[in-house]
Amino acid sequence: MYNRRLFYLIYVVLVLSISGPVQALEFSDDFNTPHDYVVDGVAGTGWDGMIGLGPGETVDVLQADIDHPNELYIQSTGSRWEPPWSPLGPYLYREVTGDFIATVHVTDFAGCPPPHVLHNECSLMARAGQLDAAGAGEDFVSIVYFPTWVGNMGKSFDDGNETEFGLTYPADRCADTDPYLQLERVGNIFYFRHSPDGENWTELEGSPIARNDLNGLPLQVGLAHATYSGNTGWAAFDDFSLSYVEIPPLIYYVNAVDGNDNNDGLTPETAFATIQKGIDETQDGDTVVVQPGTYTGDGNRDIDFLGKAITVRSTDPNDPNVVATTIIDCEDSGRGFKFHSGEGPNSVVCGFTITNGYLDNGHGGGIYCNGASPTITNNVITNNTALSMTITPSSVGGGICCINSSAIIMNNLIAGNYVRGVGGGIFSDSASIINNTITNNYSFSANFESSVGGIYCTGSSSVVNTIIWDNFGYFSPKQMYGCTNVTYSNIQDGYEGEGNIDTDPCFVRLGYWEYIEPNLIFHEGDYHLLSQRGRYWPEHDVWVLDDVTSPCIDGGDPNVNPSNEPMPNGGRINMGAYGNTAYASMSEWPIKGDINYDGIVNMIDLAILAEDWLKTPPWEE
């Protein structure tokens, strides 16, 4: 027997002194504040979440200091933490990203004293909260209090497969099963301990164990209950404590010129060479920053987010010159990105030019989403191809394909993509398509209705503030088909919806296709909007004045705040890829008396006017 808590605190101090960015934190709960978690949830308690109220979950009672003073009381019926995994028993947890040590005291238990409740069990658990993050199925470790059967023991579930170890089998199981439980993680190593008094700890036989699949993953650490039968059981806890090292999100760097995948990637000077290597090293919340350059070859195409909630971006996604020079060149072999592991809106790709994707008998020449809903923003997606070698079934989505996907597609230029099938620019069933310019895309389909060059929708996709113009379908110049919620957009040949128009958007220069045997070549355009008040000229990094003003300027949703657009603007966002960005074409501010452009005429404007009253330029004096 020995006390490892002091060892752990020394370990935390050493980590802090050596590595710097980690933070040692403490959380404890003596459960002496009344709270009903079933009724009121976890808000305001310090706990991050609970299981028991969702589909495939169960809980009867989960409350602190109500019927059981100064205790957390958990009760459930028919609950389980083993196959068939339904319904999962109640579980109250904190989320921890780094190493930790957790301790709790079991104060009461159904079956001690008798009569026994068959299979009643409680535990201190650490679980991978994102299902399948560590492999298919449930992944967790736990130190168990089970006095009516085995005493104390350890459990490890790896991809839903169980290993039990360290069963203590005390002589008098209710009296001699240690009621204090402790679980510790150091990297990929987990320690399981029990104690009669909370001071003197015994390492469970078989402890520690290695769980490489959990190394670095955020875990839910907390208190669980199950009965594994139709019986109702319960347990009570006191004095939960958690000491942990919180690892802040990391930034990994990638450099096409000077990077090396044998580096650590943690500084621009030690950058990786491939984007995929950067993603491989991340955890949820991290960022991969890609330096300007042209990225080719393995690891820089068919880039897979692996289900992670991370951001992969250029050095400045808001600067069109950076976007234009941070190029993912698929070299006619594969696509740019694929999302197929349940990614959500916190999986973000932004600030790239994605080009030369090419797929035979595939979908999504630039980006492919299937069963995933990432955020795709501030990209140029151009000259990508999804090519079906047969008429049916055809390919879908020359630029972007979203199947079973509620992706957010925002502020992208999607131009010059080709599909032999459906949806030259985008194929979508439920994406949100916001402030994009979708133009010069081409669809070849044997079916007239499917010959849609711009956007082809099959479900509930929404389109807003978007320009869809000069796309081409082989049998018709159809721009869009099947989208049900389309507003404040400029769509060639018209489309029903509030605020929609059908007017030449007045791009600076349209791109165009040219057949140069044996290939169909796309020549890029400039899709900024002409403006008499000022528009950005990216080739020279200057603002210039035009002879006409695009009808798409100030044509977006009037309920959206246009504050990201440069001043002066008309108090309403522009349509298209540059709408509501720093490079939106300008217009006159509609409130003439609002001298400081803050959206209201008030005493500040009057003071500015008074200060300059009767002033004249030097040449008038």
pLDDT in tens, 180-210: 999 999 989 999 999 999 999 999 999 999 9
Model confidence pLDDT, tens digit, residues 333-358: 999 999 999 999 999 999 999 999 99
Which residues of 524-597 form beta strands (DSSP E)? Answer: 526-529, 535-537, 542-544
Model confidence pLDDT, tens digit, residues 21-40: 556 789 999 999 999 999 99
Q: Give CA–CA dist 388/360, Å, rounded.
A: 6
Q: What are phi and psi of 162, to 5 degrees?
A: -95, 140
Model confidence pLDDT, tens digit, residues 445-476: 766 566 789 999 998 899 999 999 999 887 66
Can you give the pLDDT at residue 605? Answer: 76
Does position 437 have pLDDT exceeding 70, yes or no? yes
Per DSSP, the three-state class of 212 is helix
Does position 13 have pLDDT exceeding 60, yes or no? no
Does position 595 have pLDDT exceeding 80, yes or no? no
Between the CA atoms of 43, 44, 50 and 56, what dihedral angle is there, to the nearest 10 degrees?
Answer: -20
Separation of CA 112 from chain center: 46
pLDDT class of 239 with cuts at 50, 70, 90? very high
Q: Give CA–CA dist 455/451, Å, rounded.
A: 10
- The mean pLDDT of 540-567, rounded to a whole number, is 94
- Maximum C-alpha span of the chain: 106
CA distances from 227 to 58, 117, 118, 168, 178 (A): 11, 8, 7, 20, 20
Q: Give CA–CA dist 464/576, Å, rounded.
A: 9
Round to the nearest angstrom and report the end-to-end CA distance of the chain. 94
Residue-by-residue DSSP string for 172-204: SHHHHS--EEEEEEETTEEEEEEESSSSSBEEP
Model confidence pLDDT, tens digit, residues 107-155: 999 999 888 888 899 999 999 987 777 778 899 999 999 999 899 999 9
Q: Give CA–CA dist 511/471, Å, rounded.
A: 11
- The mean pLDDT of 76-89, rounded to a whole number, is 95
Percent share of the chain, pLDDT over 70: 93
Percent share of the chain, pLDDT over 90: 74
Residue 592 or 168, more confident: 168
Asked if residues 278 and 253 have their Cβ atoms less than 8 Å apart, the reply is yes
CA distances from 120 to 64, 79, 311 (A): 20, 9, 43
Angle, CA of 411, 335 and 583, to the nearest 5°: 20
pLDDT class of 6 with cuts at 50, 70, 90? very low
Asked if residues 535 and 555 have their Cβ atoms less than 8 Å apart, the reply is no
Model confidence pLDDT, tens digit, residues 377-423: 999 999 999 987 655 557 889 999 999 999 999 999 999 999 988 89
- The mean pLDDT of 283-309, rounded to a whole number, is 95
What residues contact residue 343 under an 8 Å CB cut-off, 6+ apart? Answer: 305, 307, 308, 309, 369, 372, 373, 374
Asked if residues 352 and 367 have their Cβ atoms less than 8 Å apart, the reply is no
What DSSP element (H or E) covers 486? strand 485-487
Asked if residues 121 and 91 have their Cβ atoms less than 8 Å apart, the reply is no
Q: Give CA–CA dist 602/165, Å, rounded.
A: 74
What DSSP element (H or E) covers 275? helix 275-281
Can you give the pLDDT at residue 18? Answer: 39
What CATH architecture does domain 5-246 belong to?
Sandwich (2.60)
Can you give the pLDDT at residue 516? Answer: 85
CA distances from 119 to 116, 168, 193, 354 (A): 9, 16, 22, 56
Locus of tokens 């039968």: 229
What residues contact residue 520 under an 8 Å CB cut-off, 6+ apart? Answer: 418, 442, 513, 514
Angle, CA of 42, 48 and 52, to the nearest 5°: 60
pLDDT class of 592 with cuts at 50, 70, 90? confident
> What is the phi-psi region of residue 399: left when phi exceeds 0, alpha when psi lies from -120 to 50, beta otherwise?
alpha
Can you give the pLDDT at residue 2? Answer: 30
Residue 505 tokens, joined: 């958007």
Does position 74 have pLDDT exceeding 70, yes or no? yes
Can you give the pLDDT at residue 392? Answer: 52
Separation of CA 420 from chain center: 31
Does position 563 have pLDDT exceeding 80, yes or no? yes
Can you give the pLDDT at residue 9? Answer: 38
Model confidence pLDDT, tens digit, residues 503-525: 999 999 999 888 888 877 888 99
The residue among 92, 79, 96, 76 whose CA lies nearest residue 35 is: 92
| Domain coordinates in residue numbering, the chain | 5-246, 305-524
